[in-house]
Amino acid sequence: MIIDGKAIALDVRTKIHEEIRAIQAKSADFKPSLTIIQVGARADSTTYVKMKLKAAEEAAIACNIINLPESATEFELLNHVQKLNESVDVDGILVQLPLPAHIDEAKVTSAVLPDKDVDGFGPFNVGELSKKNGEPTFLPCTPKGIMELLARYNVQIDGANAVVLGRSDIVGKPVASLLTKANATVTTLHSKTPQAQLELFLSQADIVVAAIGQPAFVKGEWLKEGSVVIDVGTNFVDDATKKSGSRMVGDIDFESASTKAALITPVPGGVGPMTVASLLENVVIAAKKHHVKNNATPKFTNPLKLNLVKPVPSDFEISRAQQPKKIDQVAYESGILDSELELFGSYKAKVGLHLLERLKNKKNGKYVLVTGITPTPLGEGKSTTTVGLAQALGAHLNKNVFANVRQPSMGPTFGIKGGAAGGGYSQVIPMDEFNMHVTGDIHAITMANNLLAAAIDTRMFHESTQKDGPLYKRLVPAKKGTRSFSPSMLRRLAKLGINKTDPDSLTPEEITQFARLDIDPETITWRRVVDCNDRFLRGITVGEAATEKGFTRKTGFDITVASECMAILALANSLEDMRERLGNMVIASSKAGVPITAEDIGCAGALTALLKDAIKPNIMQTLEGTPVFVHAGPFANISIGASSILADKMALKLAGTSPDLSEEERKEQEGYVVTEAGFDFTMGGERFINIKCRSSGLVPDVIVIVATVRALKVHGGGAEVKAGAPLAAEYTQENVEFLRAGCANLAKHISNAKSYGLPVVVAINKMSSDTDREHDVIREEALKAGAADAIVSNHWEEGGLGAVDLARGVIEAANSDDKHFKFLYDTAPSVEEKIATIAREMYGAGEVEFSPEAQKKIDTYTKQGFGNLPICIAKTQYSLSHDAALKGVPTGFKFPIRDVRASIGAGYLYALAAEIQTIPGLPTHCGFMNVEVNKDGEIDGLF
């Protein structure tokens, strides 16, 4: 009987097509894709490629061919393979063999990622196939096709005598492994086997697979009566009757063998079509795996164990005692691909933005915003709660979870405040790497900011020393006899309404318009920055050198995280969005009152180039091995004080679920993203929602408000708390009177948060001096104020284990239907109205008082078209009001606005209600005094 490979292959391809259609009926984005690379133009290779292309089209598999010339180098080929490895649009990669002699086939096949190696030739798949209990992702196509033929014709393999003639890595060795796994007794023969032995083994074989590459080599008289013969040979012999002058024959002498064999494959029409069908099956397997990878939410199942010690050691000692996972393992467990990861040493990495494209169809996970009550100078543990809650969700409840935090500035690190890695047994690790440099994003912000500052002063200098004609010629110089506008210059021309692209075609009036920015020095708002606390840079004079010809100007420095570039990094939704925002930054006005932007200076493209890597979020881990995105660090006083939108969007997709799931399935599988807003809810939370959420389009599912007994006692009338000073008795002993009075502050924050239509959970951050009765009072008052729950959490002392109850409460609230989200204000009302709404509704003010300077700025910004932006109000974090001395819940006070400034690129105006130092100073005893590097190159003395 003839084994009809064509018919079986057609059936396989038909079923593949049906399977693809069935999956696409549920998931339209399921589109299996194969890319074939062919080097050179061998006739047989071209024929095979055409066969594969046709079969792929019939099975509804997208197939792309990359044709490289015979002269292509190994490097060029490997570069193509690498790009295909990284492409989310490619499921399978096939390098058509044989390759030219100057290219190492083994190196090329090894370069294909195992999950795209649909040929099954890579070291992973070959190695797994050869192991006793190996699990290759893909079987080599021809051996896989052979096994399918045997199965379709009900050939008994278990216990059979099988001979494989040939020992190639493509057919002979793998088919022998598959037959052995199917419990056949397998003998491998080859071209060097003596003829007598060859005939002897063949005469005893129940199954013969011939893949020796010699036409009609095996004779019928050598075969056992009733044997099953699989002919893999593809040899061409002369045949004058054929138009081509040759015909294809196998390794078996078909005419004589067919009289002895019970089953035999013809050539052509036997194994060949099954090889192609098996390839397509492998592509669909790859596509399904990728589809699952791109839609499934992995459970977190690999926590790091904590060795809890009491009393709790220093943060630094705890961090140093824990051995972190390698960051590529953390990324893998989170669902991040190797191609999306850029390693920076062993414990931190950047994640490429193309991850968002790969996961674009997933439904977001749950979004948890952690804020706090009005704090004391000691801090109430928002960062620690953020990390502890994430550890509880991941390491103890097995949820896919991300903690998203800001990158700390090294100014406070070396000053007095310390880092922002959390604390106790709820930290980001390694904490020394977290608090120093990370991957250099803050340095990139510094460079970008200062490049623009230098460009501003330089432009004013050159405009002051040149007439319009020479200035224009130097701005647009001829290169090799040709003048052309840069992309940034074309944007400025468009802004001016000049629709010309030839620099020589501008009129004298247009040249003046284009070349002369005419910046008013008194209106310059852009300052230089440094990531260091340095009070002596708050006010400086630039241009003192003789070369600047007397063009001096008073200015100053800010700390890097106060730069608008940092705010843009946090608020950008893409690289393109960041480019537009950087160009839109207003740095001054012209003497005619026209706003001057970074685009006008011609600097925006260069700023983007400096920040093209900084825009990629950084991934680290917690003490219990759950993933953390560390990205952006906008100054919390004059900016949003939250981590980046892009980190949130990535985490929400990684923690998200397939769109095909039912609501119950989604609830069970979805993960959580825990992110933090700086200061209390009234500052950080309000900005997070009204500025960050407006830009991102994201909305929190639940708001967590962190409260401590200590802070609430302060608001209830307790003595002042100062950093470094001993605590008064009411803070170390039970005092329900102060506590209950202070809970009014908590109630106000709950009320403020609920005004956005979102559920609120209070996290009572436990301290050693607290009593159960005090915790009960907080819970009672929180529930009375409308919180969904108030839960004691001991994550500082116990890590994630101490926050499990909090995590369960957050899960319940996040899945609540009690959500009616709304912003606090629309952006259409006037600047004054928006400021008044925030001051009245969030702070409790009776009225707002605008200084003449503030009103003048508001009028200017409104005239310039910036009046419809959201508002960020800079004030003290130690009171709901503008006055740090007003504790509890002050009401009816007059709220002063002394100045208003613009962050047009970031997309908001910020109003100053207090004197905010944008570059802190150093204390007498500085943090840097304790820092050393030991003989092992490790940093000691941090906190």
Looking at residue 628, its amino acid is: V
Q: Which pLDDT band holds residue 45 (cuts at 50, 70, 90)?
A: confident
Annotated active-site residue 214? The verdict is no
Cross-strand pairs, 264: 2, 229
Whether the model clears a pTM of 0.85, i.e. scores above it, the answer is: yes
Intrachain domains 5-288 and 315-439+613-815 with the same fold = yes
Whether the upstream peptide bond of residue 268 has omega within 30° of 0, thus cis, is yes
Dump pLDDT digits (tens) for 662-689. 999 999 999 999 999 989 999 999 999 9
Residue carrying structure tokens 């930290």:
427
* CATH superfamily, region 442-535+547-611: Domain 2, N(10)-formyltetrahydrofolate synthetase (3.30.1510.10)
CA distances from 460 to 457, 489, 520 (A): 5, 17, 9
Q: Give pLDDT, residue 312.
A: 94
CA distances from 688 to 357, 408, 646, 753, 931 (A): 25, 18, 14, 11, 34
**pLDDT of 495 above 60:** yes
CB 771 within 8 A of CB 803: no
The one catalytic residue among 119, 206, 600, 680: 119
Residue carrying structure tokens 């037959």:
179
Question: For the chain, how long is the longest CA-to-CA vector?
Answer: 110
CB 838 within 8 A of CB 824: yes
- Alpha-carbon torsion, ordered 533, 536, 537, 539, to 10 deg: 140
**pLDDT of 943 above 70:** no
**pLDDT of 131 above 60:** yes
Residue carrying structure tokens 């063949």:
202
Dump pLDDT digits (tens) for 807-863. 999 999 999 988 999 999 999 999 999 999 999 999 999 999 999 999 999 999 999
- Tokens standing for residue 383: 């960062």
Q: Which pLDDT band holds residue 418 (cuts at 50, 70, 90)?
A: low
CB 692 within 8 A of CB 800: no
Q: Give pLDDT, residue 340.
A: 95
Q: Give pLDDT, residue 700.
A: 98
Q: Give pLDDT, residue 636.
A: 86
CB 635 within 8 A of CB 417: no
Dist. CA 106–CA 102, nearest whole Å: 12
Cβ of 741: how many Cβ atoms within 10 Å?
A: 18
Which CATH number is 831-912 given? Answer: 3.10.410.10
Local structure of 423: helix, strand or coil: strand
Dist. CA 69–CA 491, nearest whole Å: 41
Please give the mean pLDDT across all residues of the chain: 93
Cross-strand pairs, 200: none
Dist. CA 583–CA 603, nearest whole Å: 8
- Tokens standing for residue 512: 């003046």
User: How many degrees, rounded to 5, is the angle at CA 406 between CA 402 and CA 408?
Assistant: 135
**pLDDT of 218 above 90:** yes
Annotated active-site residue 96? The verdict is yes
- Burial class of residue 905 in the structure, from the number of CB atoms within 10 Å of its CB (0-12 exposed, 13-18 middle, 19+ buried): buried
> Which is it for the CA torsion 143, 147, 153, 157, positive or negative?
positive
346-350 contacts at long range (C-beta below 8 A, 24 or more positions apart): 347/429, 347/430, 347/433, 347/620, 347/621, 348/433, 348/438, 348/439, 348/618, 348/619, 348/620, 348/630, 349/439, 349/618, 349/619, 350/439, 350/613, 350/616, 350/617, 350/618, 350/619
- Tokens standing for residue 246: 């040759």
Q: Ramachandran region of residue 776, left (φ > 0), alpha (ψ -120 to 50) or beta?
A: alpha
Q: Give pLDDT, residue 932.
A: 78
DSSP 8-state class, residue 657: B
| Pairing status of strand 908-912 against strand 871-874 | parallel
Dist. CA 465–CA 366, nearest whole Å: 58
DSSP H helical segments within 815-933, as ranges?
831-838, 852-863
**pLDDT of 706 above 60:** yes
Cβ of 269: how many Cβ atoms within 10 Å?
A: 16
**pLDDT of 420 above 70:** no
CB 927 within 8 A of CB 418: yes
- Tokens standing for residue 4: 């009809």
Looking at residue 677, its amino acid is: A
Local structure of 932: helix, strand or coil: strand
Annotated active-site residue 648? The verdict is no
Dist. CA 134–CA 129, nearest whole Å: 6
Q: Which pLDDT band holds residue 933 (cuts at 50, 70, 90)?
A: confident
The one catalytic residue among 4, 38, 91, 96: 96
Dump pLDDT digits (tens) for 569-616. 999 999 999 999 999 999 999 999 999 999 999 999 999 999 999 999
Q: Give pLDDT, residue 29.
A: 86
| Pairing status of strand 161-165 against strand 185-189 | parallel
Cross-strand pairs, 628: 403, 620
**pLDDT of 417 above 60:** no
DSSP 8-state class, residue 869: S
Q: What angle in degrees, to the nearest 10, is found between the helix axes of 564-571 and 575-584?
A: 150
The one catalytic residue among 38, 52, 206, 692: 52
CA distances from 7 to 31, 257, 273, 756, 894 (A): 25, 22, 9, 64, 87
CA distances from 257 to 148, 224, 233, 247 (A): 22, 10, 14, 19
Q: Which pLDDT band holds residue 416 (cuts at 50, 70, 90)?
A: low
Look at 916 and 815; give whichever has higher pLDDT: 815
CB 195 within 8 A of CB 221: no
For domain 315-439+613-815, give its CATH number from 3.20.20.60, 3.40.50.300, 3.30.310.40, 3.40.50.970. 3.40.50.300
- Percentage, residues of the chain above pLDDT 70: 99
- Letter string b/e over residues 754-773, b meaning 16 or more CB atoms within 10 A of that residue's CB: bebebbbbbbbbbbeebeee
The highest-level CATH class for domain 5-288 is: alpha beta
Boundaries of every domain in the chain: 5-288, 315-439+613-815, 442-535+547-611, 831-912
Cβ of 3: how many Cβ atoms within 10 Å?
A: 24
DSSP H helical segments within 296-334, as ranges?
315-321, 327-334
CB 869 within 8 A of CB 827: yes
Looking at residue 880, its amino acid is: L
